[in-house]
Every structure is written in C-alpha cells, then in structure tokens.
Amino acid sequence: MNNNQDSVAAEPLIQIRGLSFRRGARIIFDRVDLDIPRGRITAVMGPSGTGKTTLLKLISGVLRPQAGSIKVAGQEVTTLSRSDLYALRKQIGMLFQSGALLTDLNVFDNVAYPVREHTDLSPALLRSLVLMKLQAVGLRGARDLMASELSGGMARRVALARAIALDPMLILYDEPFTGQDPISMGILTRLIAALNRALGLTSLVVSHDIHETCRIADYAYVIAQGKVIGHGKPEDLLASTEPMVHQFLSGEPDGPVHFHYPAVEYRDDLLADAS
C-alpha cells in the first residue's frame, strides 16, 4: 500500500461533523461529531426517542440535516444527487426493525429480491449467490419456507441474508435484538460479529439494548439530549462515572437524563381549561 492508500484505509468510513437536525422546534442533534471506523462494529446507544433511527436515516440520506457534514466513504451524503444517493444505498445493507420480509414470497425469493432488482445475474449465478448468503446465516435448508412460516429469529436472519445479498461495504442495524428470545439473541449477536469479520464489513448498530450491544461492539457512542455524552470502548464506558453515561448504562430512571418528554408544568396542564 502506498501512503495515499494507507490514509484512505485509516479514514473512518463514516465521518460526521457538526451535525444539527431539528424536527419543528425539537432539537434532535446539536452539533454532533461521530466517526465510524472501517472494518469494525460501532454502536450508538441512547435512551428511547433520542434520535438513533433518525441518525441512520441521516446517514443513508433519507433525511437531510439543517447543518453539518455526513461523509460516507468520502461522499458528502447531505448534498448527493438522487441518482448518486441511489448508487450509494446499493452499497449499504440495512437491517431495520420494521424492515419486514415480503410475506407472500419464500425465503429464497426474499433474499434474491434486491439482487434481481439491481443486477442481471443469470438464474444459475443468482441461485449460487442466494444459497451462499443463506448458508452464511445458517438457513440454506429453509429456502423454500414462506416468510410467514418463520419464527421471529429466523425472519431476522433471512433479513440479514438479504441485507448482505449485494455485498455491501456497510450494514446499518436498527435495534437488531428487539423481540428476540435469549437463544436467538445469542445466535444473532454471534452472526453479526462473524459476518463483520468474515466479509470485512463495517457495521453500525443502534440500540438501547446495552448488554447485547456492548458484547459485540468494538467502540460505542452514547447519545442523549442531542449530544454525544460519551464514547469509548464498551468496557471503558461501562466503568464510566460520568453521571449521564452512568445513568443510561446502569438503567437508572432518574438522573441527569429526563424520563419525561418535554411538557408544560403538570399542574398547569391539569388545571388548563379543557375546552
């Protein structure tokens, strides 16, 4: 590798600087900086409603911020044209909690779907590719099952096979552990880590599931109230005495981070004229 290639490899795959995003009067992000290194699993954790899903939408260009820069593989997402965004999104696999499978298709066709959409592979190559992806998640034998026949854990693994179908450089995981029993949670956790290693992926996991997320993340950010309140290796964060980080990671309901969504005074609300 020459020096130039070295510096590209050392550059984070995602570099966020001064990100500010509001919804109406509500500030979701206030001048946030984040680096997501290549080849690693990075977690972004934070209380519910903090903006974790919003962050993934900003990174994939679904939402545009009011200010700041979001670079993915050197491309400034905030100003990309529609066609460049489309090309970039082809290189990003997404495993969203709500990203349900197409229930009227079987497992094979669900994984084949993005490949058919974006490539013109011959049926034989398509078959090999889909079987490879299903093998990677341990579900090659389930190829003929209908999506509606799968357990929640299996469905998530099929969605994972679909997310890696086009060999993305990056996978965005939105709450991948939600609703899983401990066994499928363990399978999924190991799978995310193994795929990241084996395929040389970069993974970004957003979750409020501290325990599972800390098990697989190489590095983690904690966000709350529009800011990054802490970042570091999971073991260092877990040992942090910084009050907001500690409150979140130890699951304490009271502390510097408020449990209530901003509201007018309770008393004033109750006494307000109902008409």
Contacts to ligand ATP by CB under 6 A = 23, 28, 46, 48-54, 208
| Closer residue to ligand ATP in complex, CB, 115/214 | 214
**CB of 24 vs ligand ATP, minimal distance in Å:** 7
**CB of 106 vs ligand ATP, minimal distance in Å:** 30
| Closer residue to ligand ATP in complex, CB, 46/93 | 46
| Closer residue to ligand ATP in complex, CB, 111/229 | 229
**Residue 186, Cβ density class (10 Å: 0-12 exposed, 13-18 middle, ≥19 buried):** middle
| Closer residue to ligand ATP in complex, CB, 31/90 | 31
**CB of 100 vs ligand ATP, minimal distance in Å:** 16
Among the listed residues 93, 89, 95, 113, the one whose alpha carbon sits nearest the alpha carbon of residue 103: 113
| Closer residue to ligand ATP in complex, CB, 21/108 | 21
In Å, how far are 157, 273, 274 from 270, measured between CA atoms?
Answer: 47, 8, 9
Structure-token pair, residue 95? 């495993």
**Bridge partners, 71 (sequence order):** 15, 76
CA 1, distance to chain mean position in Å, is 31
| Closer residue to ligand ATP in complex, CB, 47/111 | 47
In Å, how far are 8, 21, 52, 219 from 260, measured between CA atoms?
Answer: 43, 21, 18, 29
Residue with tokens 């395929």: 199
**CB of 194 vs ligand ATP, minimal distance in Å:** 26
- C-alpha angle with apex 201: 175 to 216, nearest 5 degrees? 45
**CB of 47 vs ligand ATP, minimal distance in Å:** 7
Do the beta carbons of residue 206 and residue 49 sit within 8 Å? no
Structure-token pair, residue 273? 């004229």
Relative to beta strand 202-207, strand 41-45 is: parallel
In Å, how far are 65, 87, 173, 216, 244 from 213, measured between CA atoms?
Answer: 27, 29, 11, 6, 18
| Closer residue to ligand ATP in complex, CB, 107/209 | 209
**CB of 234 vs ligand ATP, minimal distance in Å:** 18
